[in-house]
Structure 1
Amino acid sequence: MPNAATLIELDERIAILRANLSELTEQAAAYSGAADEDRAAERISEQQAQLDELLKQREQLAR
């Protein structure tokens, strides 16, 4: 049986990353200029990678 505290912690971290991604996407839409767009895309990519890893961990724990 998965540790409930661990699942709750993962769920909280997942929620934070999803909120971050939403905010970064909104910010990226407002940027103008290649350097700003590149920086935004890099931050979005990093956050998405972290989210993917946490979702993978959560899925494994929930089994």
Structure 2
Amino acid sequence: MSDPRDLSETSGRIAVIREQIRIATEQAAAETGGAVEERLSERIAELEAELAELQNRPSQPA
């Protein structure tokens, strides 16, 4: 069975990443300029990949 602390840490990390995605999305909407938009787009993609990895973790060890 999974350690409840691990699940709590994962849930907390998911919440942090979701907030970071929200902030980066707002920044991307407010900013103009190719370089800034590209940097924010890359950051959002990185955060989304990390979020997907965390959400796909099994709740119990295999």
Fold match by TM threshold 0.5: yes
Measure, in 1, the Cα distance between the counterparts of 2:54 and 2:47: 11
In structure 2, runs of 5+ residues without a counterpart are none
- Which residue does the alignment assign to 2:11? 11
Letter of the 2:8 counterpart: I
AA aligned opposite 2:55:
L
Counterparts of 1:1-63 in structure 2, within 5 Å, are 1-57=1-57, 60-61=58-59
Write out the 4+ residue segments of structure 1 that deviate beyond 6 Å after TM superposition: none
Whole-Å separation in 1 of the counterparts to 2:17 and 2:60:
19
Per-residue CA deviations over 1:19-45 (Å, capped at 9, x if unaligned) read 000000000001101111100100000
In the alignment, structure 1 segments of 5+ residues that lack a partner are none
Quote the sequence identity (%).
41
1:38, 1:23 → 2: CA distance? Answer: 15
Under a length normalisation based on structure 2, what TM-score does the superposition of the two structures give? 0.91
